[in-house]
Amino acid sequence: MEPPEFFDLKAYLSKRKAVVDAALEACFSEPEGPISDLMASMKYSLFADGKRLRPILCLAGAEAVGGTETDILTVACALELIHTYSLIHDDLPVMDDDDLRRGQPSNHKVFGEAVALLAGDGLLTEAFNLMAEAELTGSVSPSALLKVIGLIARASGYRGMIGGQLVDIQLEGKSADSSLVEFIHKRKTGDLITASVKSGAILGGGNESQIQAITSYGERIGLAFQISDDILDIEGNSIEMGKKAGADEQKGKITYPASVGLSRSKEIQAELVEAAIESLNIFDQAADPLRQIAGYIVERKK
Amino acid sequence: MEPPEFFDLKAYLSKRKAVVDAALEACFSEPEGPISDLMASMKYSLFADGKRLRPILCLAGAEAVGGTETDILTVACALELIHTYSLIHDDLPVMDDDDLRRGQPSNHKVFGEAVALLAGDGLLTEAFNLMAEAELTGSVSPSALLKVIGLIARASGYRGMIGGQLVDIQLEGKSADSSLVEFIHKRKTGDLITASVKSGAILGGGNESQIQAITSYGERIGLAFQISDDILDIEGNSIEMGKKAGADEQKGKITYPASVGLSRSKEIQAELVEAAIESLNIFDQAADPLRQIAGYIVERKK
């Protein structure tokens, strides 16, 4: 099914980003006292003009199954905290050693490595506080919320994102077959993206087949997203991306282009997006945002 | 109230430690595949002969209010994962830079800094998965479990343990008044200890006044525990402790002995233990383990 022409994705993303940004601001409004450096470090990365893709996917996942925003927004924010923590830790010298992120100096370049490490820890931990404290006003049961907390913890934990990051750094400079590339990409990026949209579907009150369809969608765009990151690293513009292009090749990273070539990578990416949109066949126009986001993921410039 | 003479604390701690150790073993029984280094690193620190004080406090807190072990054990394990992650990150060169922990080389000395960082992240994240997935068989409601997850996240997050660690490293080599020492100690160590025993009381089905009494107990032994750590660093034996004595003074750490002197530190510690035991006056002998643990905390050699 082709996404309808009339849907204004740019306006949708911008409106949703504003909702998420406002909710995130409200999460950190306490007095800071002796921990002001830690708070500044957490906020520096959290409000560094992120796309808010994971929160928006969570909201759009709920929307597809007829859920309401109120019950989902706190979990959506928590997903952004987890994503931000992962960027701070990934950029550290002992990991990817990146000096630039979203066009600004990396967290540790501004606050030092010790504070950056603790800011990452703080964001990760606070994500779970936010979720546990989510005020459930609608149809969401405490059991459903526990299910989502477990899902997000597994996706971002050693079985998922952290495991992907480990293998990613361990295989730097080595050759690997394409199954291992998929292993890394699915975990490093795909699992949290899948968990984001699936959480929205669960909290939005989706039934089993709806949740399954949205999970398939998430797995496909999650992998497509990381492949598009690989491609951007080759074809992208450092200024638009806000980070240095060509870094993957320089570091000998295991990527799709390095493993199957640039042209085949683009084919795989296009197939994944098409399959992702097909996963949504059971939904009406309530899933249009998800359909459009699938296309956006591969067309983005940063 | 004096703890009764007949209670065998050593046997109690040893029995409870065995239960916790077995439950922890069962948490990491999956096949490992490409993430075997990460799993090895997590397990290395998790099974490095820890005292399991936080899990035992959680179980003893539940016991005091008449709760059953089954419902609490998973949360007890999660507390040990969080404690272990904090030790791994604290030992990193950018933090306290400690080469030795529990008589063995620190995690990063064995697995390297990148894997140690990820192992810490992995343990922290898995703690929340364990709690979210806890199988509730008895009187524990999903709402009570969410309450406990939030409590533990706040205690170990930027408002608590992480904030304490930040101020601890920021004030190294500086002089600070005793209010700031209390700020650090309460957060760095006290908050998670308080959350441990309070979680047990909540999950064990304690009423408001029971939970309040156990929280006061936790706050007092939590601070006493960190003061005893300070004193051990001066008076302790490196071999018994499994880490280098005198490290605090060498690093210019803000400690109670440095701030109010060794003799006054011991007085404060004794007052806290007495007050902690007094907090438990509303309980019968079901709280004897907690009473005895209060004494153990200041008498321990490691």
Please indicate if any CB of chain A lies within 8 Å of the CB of B84: no
Residue of A nearest to B144 (CA): A142
Is residue A1 situated within a structural domain?
no
Q: Is A145's CB within 8 Å of B146's CB?
A: yes
Element at B105 (helix H, strand E): strand B104-105
pLDDT for the residue B31: 72
**Residue A177 reports pLDDT greater than 90:** no
Q: Is A149's CB within 8 Å of B158's CB?
A: no
Residues of A in contact with B94 (CB under 8 A): 112-114, 117
Q: Which residue has the higher pLDDT, A245 or A259?
A: A259
Is residue B3 situated within a structural domain?
no
Which tens digit of pLDDT belongs to each residue from B152-209? 999 999 999 999 999 999 988 887 777 888 899 999 999 999 999 999 999 999 999 9
Of B37, B39, B158, the CB nearest to A126: B158
Of B38, B145, B169, the CB nearest to A158: B38
Residue A268 makes CB contacts below 8 A (sequence gap 6+) with A227, A256, A260
Q: Is B149's CB within 8 Å of A128's CB?
A: yes
CA distance B95 to chain A (A): 6
- The span from the CA of A102 to the CA of A242, in Å, is 4
pLDDT for the residue B1: 45
Is residue B2 situated within a structural domain?
no
Q: Where does the pLDDT of residue A82 fall: very low under 50, low under 70, confident under 90, or very high at 90 and above?
A: very high
The tens place of each residue's pLDDT in chain B, 302 residues long, gives 445 557 899 999 999 999 999 999 999 887 778 899 999 999 999 999 899 999 999 999 999 999 988 779 999 999 999 999 999 999 999 999 999 888 899 999 999 999 999 999 999 999 999 999 987 776 788 999 999 999 999 999 999 999 999 999 998 888 777 788 889 999 999 999 999 999 999 999 999 999 999 999 999 999 999 999 999 989 887 777 777 778 888 888 889 998 899 999 999 999 999 999 999 999 999 999 999 999 998 887 77
Residue A173 makes CB contacts below 8 A (sequence gap 6+) with A251, A252
Do strands A100-101 and B104-105 pair parallel, antiparallel, or not at all (unpaired)? unpaired
Is residue A273 situated within a structural domain?
yes
Distance in angstroms between the alpha carbons of the first and the last residue of chain A: 27
Q: Is B117's CB within 8 Å of A124's CB?
A: no
Is residue B231 situated within a structural domain?
yes
Quick check: helix, strand or coil at residue A100? strand
Residues of B in contact with A156 (CB under 8 A): 125
Q: Is A35's CB within 8 Å of B150's CB?
A: no
Domain residues for B204?
9-299
**Residue A221 reports pLDDT greater than 60:** yes
CA distance B195 to chain A (A): 13
Q: Please count the residue pairs, one from chain A and one from chain B, whose beta carbons lie less than 8 angstroms apart.
A: 151
CA distance B296 to chain A (A): 30
Residues of A in contact with B35 (CB under 8 A): 158-159, 163, 166-167
Q: Is A125's CB within 8 Å of B157's CB?
A: yes
HSE-CB at B222 with a 13 A cutoff on CA atoms is: 28
Of B34, B132, B163, the CB nearest to A153: B132
pLDDT for the residue B5: 57
Q: In this structure, are residues B239 and B174 in contact, taking their beta carbons and an 8 Å threshold?
A: no
Range in A53-62, A65-74, A284-293, B124-133 the model is least confident about: A65-74
**Chain A, window 175-194: residues with a beta carbon less than 8 angstroms from a chain B beta carbon:** 180, 183
ipTM above 0.90, yes or no: yes
Residues of B in contact with A157 (CB under 8 A): 122, 125-126, 129
Please indicate if any CB of chain B lies within 8 Å of the CB of A100: no
Please indicate if any CB of chain B lies within 8 Å of the CB of A295: no
φ, ψ for residue B16 (rounded to 5)?
-65, -40
The length of chain B in residues reads 302
Q: Where does the pLDDT of residue A239 fall: very low under 50, low under 70, confident under 90, or very high at 90 and above?
A: confident
Residues of B in contact with A112 (CB under 8 A): 94
pLDDT for the residue A1: 44
Q: Is B158's CB within 8 Å of A183's CB?
A: no
Q: Is B38's CB within 8 Å of A115's CB?
A: no
pLDDT for the residue B113: 97
Is residue B92 situated within a structural domain?
yes
Residues pairing with A269 in the sheet? none
Is residue B4 situated within a structural domain?
no
Residue A23 makes CB contacts below 8 A (sequence gap 6+) with A73, A74, A76, A77
**Residue A50 reports pLDDT greater than 60:** yes
Is residue A222 situated within a structural domain?
yes
Q: In this structure, are residues B57 and B155 in contact, taking their beta carbons and an 8 Å threshold?
A: no
Q: Is A95's CB within 8 Å of B117's CB?
A: yes
Which of the residue ranges A48-62, A168-182, A228-242 has the most confident prediction, judged by mean pLDDT? A48-62
Question: What mean pLDDT is predicted for residues A246-263?
Answer: 88
Task: Count structural domains, chain B.
Answer: 1
**Chain B, window 226-245: residues with a beta carbon less than 8 angstroms from a chain A beta carbon:** none
Which tokens belong to A293? 């986001």
The amino acid at residue B2 is E
pLDDT for the residue A4: 52
Residue A6 makes CB contacts below 8 A (sequence gap 6+) with none
- The span from the CA of B167 to the CA of A20, in Å, is 30
Of B128, B142, B166, the CB nearest to A153: B128
pLDDT for the residue A73: 94
Q: In terms of C-beta density within 10 A (0-12 exposed, 13-18 middle, 19 or more buried), how is residue A4 classed?
A: exposed
Quick check: helix, strand or coil at residue A216? helix
Question: What mean pLDDT is predicted for residues A199-216?
Answer: 97
What value does the CA radius of gyration of chain A take, rounded to a whole number of Å? 18
Report helix, strand and coil shares of chain A as percent, to nearest 5. Answer: 75, 0, 25
| CATH at residue A268 | 1.10.600.10
pLDDT for the residue B103: 85
Match 């008449």 to its residue by tokens: B66
CA distance B284 to chain A (A): 33
Which tokens belong to B45? 């620190």
